Amino acid sequence: MSSGASFGLAKCVQYAAFAATMIVGIASGSEAQDVCTQDTYTITTQSDADALGSCNNITGLITVQSDTLTSLTLNGIQRLDGSLTISSCAALTEISAPQLQWINDNFTLSSLLQLTNLSLPTLETVQMAISWTDIPLLTSPNLKTKGVDAYGNPGTNIYGDLTISDTGIETLDFFNFGSFSRVGDVSVTGNKDLKIVNMSSLVTSSLLEFADNGESFQVLLPKLTTAEGLSLQDVMQFDISSLTTLSATLRLEDNTFQVFELDQLNAIGGDVIVRGNQMMNKFSLPLLTEIGGGIYSGDFVIANNSALTALDGLGKLAAVDGSTNLSGNLYNSDISKYPNRYSCGTSGTSTDTAIHYHPPSSGPAIPKATKVVIIIVCIVAALLATGIGLRWWAKRRRRGRVPEEPPISLRELGVGEEEEGEGVDGLPPYRRMGKPGEVPPGYKARESPQTRTQIPPPPPARLRGIRGTVAGWRSTFIRLPSRHEETAHGV
Ligand SMILES: *[C@@H]1O[C@H](CO)[C@@H](O)[C@H](O)[C@H]1NC(C)=O
Ligand SMILES: *[C@@H]1O[C@H](CO)[C@@H](O)[C@H](O)[C@H]1NC(C)=O
Ligand SMILES: *[C@@H]1O[C@H](CO)[C@@H](O)[C@H](O)[C@H]1NC(C)=O
Ligand SMILES: *[C@@H]1O[C@H](CO)[C@@H](O)[C@H](O)[C@H]1NC(C)=O
Ligand SMILES: *[C@@H]1O[C@H](CO)[C@@H](O)[C@H](O)[C@H]1NC(C)=O
Ligand SMILES: *[C@@H]1O[C@H](CO)[C@@H](O)[C@H](O)[C@H]1NC(C)=O
């Protein structure tokens, strides 16, 4: 009896406690508790997430980590004054936060190997960094594209760093890069299906890194004027045409563009590293005066750019603050033009293993005027040579004609034809052209039969053969038709 009474009492107390909890719960639920504050909210199950459903605004960090969680919905949360980190959830395929508008700190997603669906349809502002890494199956996140955030910028805005690495993402256009100009470091690497990053209004940034993304990857930063560093790797096209200042390093590696030319860039505070750009045949920074000069070392490295044969786009570069390492077939790139000015307390080395084909004194360094003169002289010489050659040929023709014509006369005379040369000299010339017996008026004046017998000197032995050949050729190709003509006329 006593045991039963104590049991009943205990049960009663339990029920009362439960009822009290229920009442408090309902009360707090109906009030829709505005702000929940706690250092860290750790979520491993969906019910952990549901427990936050009554908090519209949360101050604190939310971290989600679970090997078994397959789907996560953050209901009710509108604003997070803290960061949201969802990482290493091996089975997680879906994440959704239907009311979330604002994340005041970082938004990190990492190592979510099964995640395919990310739905954040009201997210306007990430006040600090977005870092999404190792999410290979995520191709098209669903983000807000309409409406404006508290700063008046449309879509989803990031006001800190942006890191998108090793994801399946095909486009970043869901982020608003279109109408605002502030973002921190940008690192977009290893996204094999991403073909373009178009940050069309970005004016200033810090470090910009693009590497190992999709084939024929394009980087469009047409309004970017200042940044800390810029690193392009495996990029095929770019527009960085407004860039004037880099306070840190410019790095170009393994790109597939042919021309790298930034004609506004006048300052690089760090290194210039240009390596392995197999297609690049032009590297031009015409306004750049110095490499380094800031807090960075200012090395200048050119290596493994197999199509680059000249470093002639650096007309104003007068100093390199660190080491200069040049290699390749760099024609017309004199390392002595870039004297080192090692920064305080540092020392550097300059190695120049490039093959420069240093022109002696009359190579490509010839002034334009001289080149013009040389060309003119060459043309004149060529004309002279042609003239002399023609005269010589004409003389030969004339000389050749003298012994050549008579055989026709021989034919007409019915005399057996002699082979050629001196043997025909004594025969009566040119009779077929005139009436028999008639001698052209000028003929006697020019040459007498006597001179004709003597004037053509016996050609040197080696010429005789040529003359024989020429005469033979003439008799075949020139004289024969003329004979046919004659017979044709005659008939
Ligand atoms: C809760 O978040 C919303 C949405 O960001 C905001 O408008 C509201 O001022 C916040 N309330 C409090 C008490 O911080
Ligand atoms: C936010 O991310 C940045 C890097 O982008 C990091 O430096 C910072 O410490 C992070 N903040 C927090 C609270 O984790
Ligand atoms: C998940 O994402 C895929 C495409 O990525 C989409 O076709 C599908 O409708 C999404 N599922 C849900 C529940 O949103
Ligand atoms: C880049 O974005 C701007 C504005 O958002 C747009 O006008 C332009 O067409 C885009 N360019 C490409 C190649 O997508
Ligand atoms: C040039 O390329 C070769 C082979 O890819 C590599 O071994 C070498 O380290 C590269 N040199 C530089 C300076 O990058
Ligand atoms: C320049 O070349 C030297 C020797 O070839 C090497 O020790 C040094 O690390 C190189 N510097 C850079 C910045 O590549």
Determine the residue of 116, 120, 167, 193 to mutate for testing ligand 3's pocket, defined as the one with the most ligand atoms within 8 A of the Cβ atom: 116
Average pLDDT of the segment spanning 315-336: 78
Q: Who's near 434: CB < 8 A, 6+ residues apart?
A: 440
Please say if the pLDDT value at position 205 is more than 70.
yes
Q: Write down the pLDDT at residue 390.
A: 85
Under CATH, which architecture does the 25-176 domain have?
Answer: Alpha-Beta Horseshoe (3.80)
Ligand minimally distant from the alpha carbon of residue 138: 3
Quickly state the pLDDT bin for 1 (edges 50, 70, 90).
Answer: very low
Quickly state the pLDDT bin for 150 (edges 50, 70, 90).
Answer: confident
Q: Which residue has the higher pLDDT, 184 or 337?
A: 184
Please say if the pLDDT value at position 318 is more than 90.
no
Please say if the pLDDT value at position 214 is more than 80.
yes
What is d(CA 251, CA 267) in angstroms, rounded to the nearest whole number? Answer: 14
pLDDT in tens, 290-305: 999 777 788 999 999 9
Quickly state the pLDDT bin for 335 (edges 50, 70, 90).
Answer: low
Q: Give the Å distance between the CA of 129 and the centre of ligand 2.
A: 7
Please say if the pLDDT value at position 467 is more than 80.
no
Ligand 5 atom at minimum distance from 275 CA:
14
pLDDT in tens, 164-189: 999 999 998 888 765 666 678 999 99
Q: Write down the pLDDT at residue 491.
A: 33
Question: Cα 426 to chain center, whole Å?
Answer: 80
Ligand 4 atom at minimum distance from 178 CA:
5
Neighbouring-strand partners of residue 467: none
Q: Write down the pLDDT at residue 340.
A: 57
Q: Write down the pLDDT at residue 265.
A: 96
Determine the residue of 106, 133, 158, 164 to mutate for testing ligand 2's pocket, defined as the one with the most ligand atoms within 8 A of the Cβ atom: 106
Q: Which residue has the higher pLDDT, 338 or 250?
A: 250
Quickly state the pLDDT bin for 315 (edges 50, 70, 90).
Answer: confident
Q: Write down the pLDDT at residue 32.
A: 56
Q: b or e along 51-60 (b: 16 or more beta carbons within 10 Å of the residue's beta carbon)?
A: ebebbebbeb
Q: Give the Å distance between the CA of 146 and the centre of ligand 5.
A: 48
Ligand minimally distant from the alpha carbon of residue 303: 5
Q: Which residue has the higher pLDDT, 320 or 458?
A: 320
Please say if the pLDDT value at position 259 is more than 60.
yes
Range picked from 51-55, 136-140, 464-468 for highest mean pLDDT: 136-140
pLDDT in tens, 26-81: 444 444 568 899 999 999 999 999 999 899 999 999 999 999 999 999 999 999 99
Helix (H, G, I), strand (E, B) or coil at 117: strand
Determine the residue of 171, 179, 220, 238 to mutate for testing ligand 4's pocket, defined as the one with the most ligand atoms within 8 A of the Cβ atom: 220
Question: Ligand 3: residues whose CB is within 6 Å?
Answer: 116-117, 139-140
Write the single-letter amino acid at 206: S
Nearest residue by C-alpha to atom 12 in ligand 2: 106
Q: Give the Å distance between the CA of 201 and the centre of ligand 4.
A: 10
Q: Who's near 289: CB < 8 A, 6+ residues apart?
A: 266, 267, 316, 317, 318, 319
Percentages of the chain per state (helix, strand, coil), in multiples of 5: 25, 25, 50
- Phi, psi for 391 (deg, rounded to 5): -60, -45
Ligand minimally distant from the alpha carbon of residue 162: 2
Quickly state the pLDDT bin for 123 (edges 50, 70, 90).
Answer: very high
Write the single-letter amino acid at 327: S
Question: Would you call 235 exposed, middle or buried from its count of C-beta atoms within 10 A (0-12, 13-18, 19+)?
Answer: buried
Q: Write down the pLDDT at residue 410.
A: 46
Q: Which residue has the higher pLDDT, 434 or 34?
A: 34
Q: Write down the pLDDT at residue 158.
A: 86
Please say if the pLDDT value at position 269 is more than 80.
yes
Question: Would you call 442 exposed, middle or buried from its count of C-beta atoms within 10 A (0-12, 13-18, 19+)?
Answer: exposed
Please say if the pLDDT value at position 89 is more than 90.
yes
Average pLDDT of the segment spanning 296-325: 87
Ligand 1 atom at minimum distance from 102 CA:
5
Q: Give the Å distance between the CA of 248 and the centre of ligand 4.
A: 28
Q: Write down the pLDDT at residue 34.
A: 81
Quickly state the pLDDT bin for 478 (edges 50, 70, 90).
Answer: very low
What is d(CA 102, CA 273) in angstroms, rounded to the nearest whole number? Answer: 39
Ligand minimally distant from the alpha carbon of residue 105: 2
Nearest residue by C-alpha to atom 2 in ligand 3: 117
Q: Which residue has the higher pLDDT, 469 or 232?
A: 232
Q: Write down the pLDDT at residue 395.
A: 82
Please say if the pLDDT value at position 113 is more than 70.
yes
Q: Write down the pLDDT at residue 198.
A: 92
Ligand 5 atom at minimum distance from 325 CA:
13
Q: Give the Å distance between the CA of 270 and the centre of ligand 2.
A: 25
Please say if the pLDDT value at position 427 is more than 70.
no
Is residue 201 in contact with ligand 4, taking CB distance under 6 Å?
Answer: no
Quickly state the pLDDT bin for 442 (edges 50, 70, 90).
Answer: low
Nearest residue by C-alpha to atom 12 in ligand 4: 198
Ligand 4 atom at minimum distance from 220 CA:
1
Ligand 3 atom at minimum distance from 139 CA:
5
Please say if the pLDDT value at position 342 is more than 50.
no
Quickly state the pLDDT bin for 330 (edges 50, 70, 90).
Answer: confident
What is d(CA 52, CA 210) in angstroms, rounded to the nearest whole number? Answer: 38
pLDDT in tens, 403-426: 544 444 445 555 444 444 444 444
Q: What is the mean pLDDT of the chain?
A: 77
Q: Which residue has the higher pLDDT, 311 or 89?
A: 89
Question: Cα 460 to chain center, whole Å?
Answer: 65
Is residue 99 in contact with ligand 1, taking CB distance under 6 Å?
Answer: no
Question: Ligand 6: residues whose CB is within 6 Å?
Answer: 299, 301, 323, 325, 351
Question: Would you call 341 exposed, middle or buried from its count of C-beta atoms within 10 A (0-12, 13-18, 19+)?
Answer: middle
Q: Which residue has the higher pLDDT, 69 or 350?
A: 69
How do 186-189 and 218-220 pair as beta strands?
unpaired
Domain coordinates of the chain in residue numbers? 25-176, 398-433+465-491
Q: Which of 56-65, 262-271, 336-345, 475-484 has the lowest mean pLDDT?
A: 475-484
Q: Give the Å distance between the CA of 309 and the centre of ligand 6.
A: 20
Q: How far apart are the first and last CA of the chain?
A: 160
Tell me how many helices (H) and strands (E) the chain has.
Answer: 8, 32
Q: Write down the pLDDT at residue 440.
A: 56
Q: Which residue has the higher pLDDT, 324 or 363?
A: 324
Q: Write down the pLDDT at residue 325.
A: 85
Provide long-range contacts, Cβ within 8 A and 24+ apart, for 182-190. Answer: 183/158, 183/159, 184/129, 184/159, 184/160, 185/161, 185/209, 186/161, 186/162, 186/210, 187/161, 187/162, 187/163, 188/162, 188/163, 188/164, 188/213, 189/164, 189/165, 189/213, 190/165, 190/166
Average pLDDT of the segment spanning 390-401: 76
